Amino acid sequence: MSTELKNIFTPIKINTMEVRNRAVMPAMATGYGNPDSTVSDRLIAYLARRAKGGTGLIITEVCAIDPRGKGFGAEIGAWDDKFIPGLNKLADAVHAEGARIALQLHHAGRETFEGIAGAKPEAPSPIPSAVLNQACEQMSVDRIRTLVAAYASAAERAKKAGFDAVEVHGAHGYLPCQFLSPFSNARDDEYGGSDENRARFLLEIVAAVRESVGPDFAVIVRISGDEAIRKGFDLNFSKWLAPKLVGAGADAIHVSVGVYSTPGNLSIASMDTEEGFNLFRARTIKETVKVPVIGVGRIHDPRLGEQALARGDADMISFGRQHLTDPDFLNKAREGRHDDIRRCIACNQGCIERLMFEFKSATCVFNPDCGNEYKGEVQKAPDPKKVWIVGAGPAGVSAAMYAAKRGHNIEIFESGKEPGGQLLSASMPPHKEGLKQWFAWARKQLEAAGIRIQRGMNVTPEMIAQGRPDFVILAAGASPLVPAIPGIDGQSVVEARDVLLGKAQVAAPVAILGAGYVGMETADYLAAKGIPSVIIEMKQFPPVNAFTAHGYWLNKRIKEVGGRIELNSTVQRIEEKSVVFRRADGSEQTEPAATVILALGARPNNVLESYLKESNIPHSTVGDAKTPRRFIEAIHEGARAGREI
């Protein structure tokens, strides 16, 4: 075992529950439950795989204690005895891999939709969610007491199902947190008005849960140490609350931060936020209680967790999204193989934002196996083939890794001097360096498989005819789109990619055409150098909005240096020192611009596709070569193509 991680791999007890190490997989919603809220084989395989990777304690995703408290359609439930058999299978699967498991008890309150909850969302007060803006109904005292009992009954079912602990979810703006906060609780009865009254609901839940499970069963409470929002409660309130939670029966406190409407979504912090940014709140709570405290907040490196434990910031460390990206990261760290860890970069693209904004089940951009564990391991092909991969960007490299797992003979051809494709420029804006880490990891996997990238090679039909591959994967990426705008070929006009790669000089003032991620991140890149940009966008609404965490920080940083976005505006022409665009009302605006940067989209590089079709050569087109999109589509399509050969 690596001696540098002696703290993190030290066992710990929560009440009578013995945990093999200090690493926690916190609750993260996946959407893997069955439509009837029972536990699915998919969820079991996913969590068992994380337990196999070496973590000590797994906390399930949210589990509804009442059908009206469901936050999303596939949320698992514990409001009836019918859920016990499935929960038992889940607990047994995690135990078989040596980990402990806790069931997270959840009620969304106002943070849900009527179509999901089956009735109007309920809350302490009839104040709609600041994010979802759904009308909600104020709970009666009788309803409050009913739900307190429901938490207790759900905890008892968890114990019967073989779980080692429960976690009461009192954080992130869900129902107990809504009661705690003046931001959402305007009651004037015994459940509102004062700190004591606003805390009453959560304290009653904890006490009822403790009574239902007995004195020896572990009860964890997750709180937001600070809501980090105007009119919300702060860390001083949580310092006051934590000892009372322990007095009510809590055996451990899990200290998160934020609610749904906290600017920048700190509850699931993006790459724009410093790693370990929330640990000081855990330390503050730890100073007020004598039970274990769990720290969380963008902690992806076991060495960072080790440092936090050594400092006394917390007693246990939650590694959230890192469990999605690399389920084996703890075992690798134990063996000292830190460079072999595939690291989460906190992009949120495949997990929480996919779940919340696309209404799809969660996965990971960089780990196509996440959520597909139930399908089994990649199997060797019975008849290994000669596979050519055209393009060594994210899609091509991903395809190569999975085709290699199948045992095929792989050759990769890259037309450029350096592999990486769009990733080379995409990793240059602030806080995007993590993309390089993934690509370096991926190249190590190729090297270990004996696969070499041939650079400066433009694959032609003649090469294919001579080389006679059995299968071709087209992953040649995309080229910038250059529309027919008068003046677009002027000397002051440059491509966004060239700016990010340092191939083009930029003089202020700057106009950027296109407010998608390429345009916005180029503006952010320039903002870091103190250069503001005017971004001109045809669409009526921002393509990169502030609802996503990364989008929030992008917009904030661009505005801080004086940048702005002109929406609903169509570029008419580019002049020597300006850009002329037309607003929606028909008026023309002339914007000074010594440099005009193009970020107007891309067109796929798929010229070989017609030849392959005409020649009846089996092939697959993936990533931007199919149609320009995001890294998640490129990496996952590449993986699927490689796996299916």
Mean of pLDDT values over 330-335:
96
The answer to whether residue 96 scores a pLDDT higher than 90 is yes
Closest CA to 83 of 13, 153, 134: 153
545 has a pLDDT exceeding 90: no
Averaged pLDDT, 374-387: 96
Return d(Cα 78, Cα 243) in angstroms, integer: 28
What distances in angstroms separate CA 90 from CA 1, 37, 219, 327, 436, one per listed residue?
29, 14, 19, 17, 36
Per-residue b/e over 562-586, b at no fewer than 16 CB within 10 Å?
ebebbbebebbebbeebbbbeeeee
Q: What's the whole-number mean pLDDT along residues 176-183?
A: 97
Instruction: Kindly report the number of other CB atoms within 10 A of residue 187's CB atom.
Output: 18
Contact 327, 344 (CB under 8 A): no
**Whole-angstrom Cα distance, residue 120 to residue 112?**
9
Q: pLDDT exceeding 70 applies to what percent of the chain?
A: 100
pLDDT digits (tens, 9 = 90+) for 52-63: 999 999 999 999
Q: pLDDT digits over 422-445, tens only?
A: 999 999 999 999 999 999 999 999
556-561 mean pLDDT: 96
Q: Residue 301: helix, strand or coil by DSSP?
A: coil
Q: Residue 234: pLDDT band by 50, 70, 90 thresholds?
A: very high
In the chain the domains, ranked by start, together with CATH numbers, are: 3-374 (3.20.20.70), 380-480+604-644 (3.40.50.720), 493-600 (3.50.50.60)
> In whole numbers, what is the pLDDT of the chain averaged over residues?
96
pLDDT at 3: 65
Contacts of residue 44, defined as CB under 8 A and 6 or more positions apart, other chains included, come to: 89, 90, 93, 374
Question: What whole-number distance in Å separates Cα of residue 467 and Cα of residue 479?
Answer: 26
Whether the Cβ atoms of residue 289 and residue 14 lie closer than 8 Å to each other: no
Instruction: Say if CB 46 and CB 87 are below 8 A apart.
Output: no
Q: Is the pLDDT of residue 27 over 70?
A: yes
Q: Which residue has the higher pLDDT, 130 or 464?
A: 464
Give CA–CA dist 145/142, Å, rounded: 5
Give the pLDDT confidence score for residue 625 in this predicted structure. Answer: 97
pLDDT of residue 260: 87
- Residue among 302, 322, 294, 574 at smallest CA distance from 438: 322
Q: In the predicted model, what is the mean pLDDT of residues 241-260?
A: 97
Band (2; pLDDT cuts 50, 70, 90): low
Judged by phi (left if over 0) then psi (alpha if -120 to 50, else beta), residue 435 lies in alpha
**In the chain, what is the greatest distance between 2 CA atoms, to the nearest angstrom?**
83
pLDDT of residue 547: 86
Over residues 588-615, the mean pLDDT reads: 96
DSSP letter for each residue of 554-606: HHHHHHHTT-EEE-S-EEEEEETTEEEEE-TTS-EEEEE-SEEEE---EEE--
pLDDT in tens, 131-145: 899 999 999 999 999
- Res 198: pLDDT: 98
Q: What pLDDT shows up at residue 141?
A: 98
For residues 172 and 225, is the Cβ–Cβ distance under 8 A?
no
Global confidence as pTM: 0.95
Instruction: Check 32, 46, 151, 174 and give the catalytic one.
Output: 174
Q: How confident is the model at residue 546 (pLDDT cuts 50, 70, 90)?
A: confident
3-state secondary structure string across 369-394: CCCCHHHCCCCCCCCCCEEEEECCCH
Q: What average pLDDT does this structure show over 462-488?
A: 96
Specify whether 260 is catalytic: no
Residue 197, both tokens: 């009254």
Please choose, from the candidates 41, 39, 45, 60, the residue with its C-alpha nearest in 3D space to the C-alpha of residue 106: 60
Percent pLDDT > 90 in the chain is: 97
Q: How far apart are the first and last CA of the chain?
A: 38
Q: Examine the pLDDT at 4 and tell me if it is beyond 90.
A: no
Mean pLDDT confidence for 515-533? 97
pLDDT value, residue 1 = 53
Which residue in the block uniquely carries the two structure tokens 């929406």? 567
Closest CA to 348 of 275, 425, 276, 268: 268
- What pLDDT, in 10s, does the model give residues 101-111? 999 999 999 99
